[in-house]
């Protein structure tokens, strides 16, 4: 939940510890349903990872490539802002 909240903008990277604590405090049997109910969950997770300088690369995503060592090239600078 904390990573999704980070990517959604509920918490900032400087508030990561607070986001993790809140996620732990609010975790219950409905947490999975809550996360699956977020229509942009994948985007939130990807954006949350990007805040840590990490990324997701798969064969379907051609906007972000790999360098010669099969490592992500970094965050996408051309990624459009969410509406």
pLDDT greater than 90 at residue 82: no
Per the model's pLDDT, the better-predicted residue between 78 and 20 turns out to be: 20
- What is the rounded CA–CA span in Å between residue 75 and residue 11? 19
Answer whether 2's CB lies under 8 Å from 16's CB: yes
Render pLDDT for 26-70 as a digit per residue (tens, 0 to 9).
999 999 999 999 999 999 999 999 999 888 765 555 554 554 555
- pLDDT at res. 28: 94
- What is the rounded CA–CA span in Å between residue 83 and residue 70? 32
- pLDDT at res. 61: 54
- pTM listed for this prediction: 0.67
Tokens read off for 16: 């990561």
Query: What are the domain boundaries of the chain?
Result: 1-83
For 73, other C-beta atoms within 10 Å of its C-beta total: 11
Mean pLDDT of 11-18: 96
């Amino acid at each position: 939940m904390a990573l999704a909240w980070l990517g959604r903008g509920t918490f900032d990277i400087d508030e990561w510890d607070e986001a993790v604590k809140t996620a732990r405090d609010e975790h219950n049997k409905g947490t999975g349903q809550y996360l699956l109910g977020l229509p942009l969950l994948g985007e939130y997770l990807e954006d949350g990872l990007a805040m840590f300088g990490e990324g997701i690369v798969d064969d379907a995503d051609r906007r972000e490539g790999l360098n010669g060592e099969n490592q992500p090239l970094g965050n996408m600078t051309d990624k459009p802002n969410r509406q």
